[in-house]
Homo-oligomer: A and B are copies of this chain.
């Protein structure tokens, strides 16, 4: 932490700041230039440094600004762990060389639609089945999911297809229940700063996926991951799903640059969600490909047998065919950035016959 004093701060003010730093148990390093004084403060307890000392100092007389020079997150940083975290979902490795695709309907609507979709996405190369049983909805009058019944359907789909399962948990009281059925616990964007939920999910000890909040900075997102990591659970994945900006043509603005930024700042895997990131099905393929090109460790994509009849998120869901057409391109681009997609063997042949993006219909 660096404390920059104002031009013309008095000796008394400087001494006062130095004194306060010492009172808090830190060692100040004062360097007085011709124009202004600067006080460096280091210490082995960055948490106290930023949570207590910084707030106090920045409002003292004569202080111009206080500059943090240590990151506020620790366990999620590359400095803490240089090697990539590879999350192991019962044998499916995320964060390693393989690029993993998660796909399925927004909401679990019925067992039949879920299992048929699971088979379709598995055939195309997906490894993990997504599907919402508990749905957060902006309006209280919208469909909120099948709840426990939906979880049971997910488990049956897993049994039948061998896909792993990811589903959202919305409140601390549901963590145990959801953890009984799901291989990955998903924390939604609206809950990124629901700290008690983060801790409960951490304690469940299962792999989890933390979506970025609609208006969360990258630093805030990593600090939320820190809540989970601090429970001792290190199986954390991050998920970029679009941020809120002034542009209204897309549902959100997908921050593709967050993908390489996370890879630089953190060792945690980063998954891209082009369905929520764009809100429009015809933008899902180009943004899925862009995410892979930018270095994502995986994709999570909404797929529905008949998107026009979906109970939620129909406008942003791919149908089976468009998802199947997308996968060989994903695989091709993954190869360009040194990744592979397992089980997309016949990529080239299928790639050659793909329709150009512009002519997709649904």
Contact = CB atoms under 8 A, between A and B. Distances in A.
Contact of A337 (B243, B277, B289): B289
A89 interface: no
B261 A257 contact: no
Contacts of A248: 217, 248
Interface stretch (A63-71, A117-125, A178-186, A203-211): A63-71
A4 interface: yes
B218 A249 contact: yes
Nearest to A198: B140
30 contacts: A4-B69, A33-B42, A47-B139, A50-B141, A51-B141, A55-B310, A55-B315, A59-B307, A59-B308, A64-B69, A65-B69, A67-B67, A73-B139, A140-B195, A140-B223, A191-B194, A217-B246, A218-B249, A244-B246, A245-B246, A254-B256, A256-B256, A257-B277, A261-B283, A264-B282, A289-B294, A290-B291, A292-B293, A329-B336, A336-B336
A21 to B, nearest CB: 13
A260 interface: yes
A255 interface: yes
A40 B33 contact: yes
Interface in A132-146: 136-143
Contacts of A47: 139, 141-142
A195 B226 contact: no
A60 B308 contact: yes
Contact of A311 (B2, B52, B171, B313): B52
A150 B164 CA distance: 44
A175 to B, nearest CB: 12
Contacts of A227: 140
A93 B258 CA distance: 32
A138 B255 contact: no
A58, A73, A213, A244: which has the most chain B beta carbons within 10 Å?
A244
A356 B137 CA distance: 37
A218 B190 contact: no
A95 interface: no
Contacts of A191: 194
A194 B277 CA distance: 21
Given A137-B195, A289-B293, A293-B333, 11 more contacts: A29-B33, A50-B139, A59-B362, A65-B69, A72-B139, A139-B226, A171-B171, A250-B257, A257-B283, A263-B358, A332-B336
B136 A195 contact: yes
Contact of A243 (B55, B197, B253): B253
A282 B261 CA distance: 9
Contact of A309 (B56, B138, B217, B307): B56
A152 interface: no
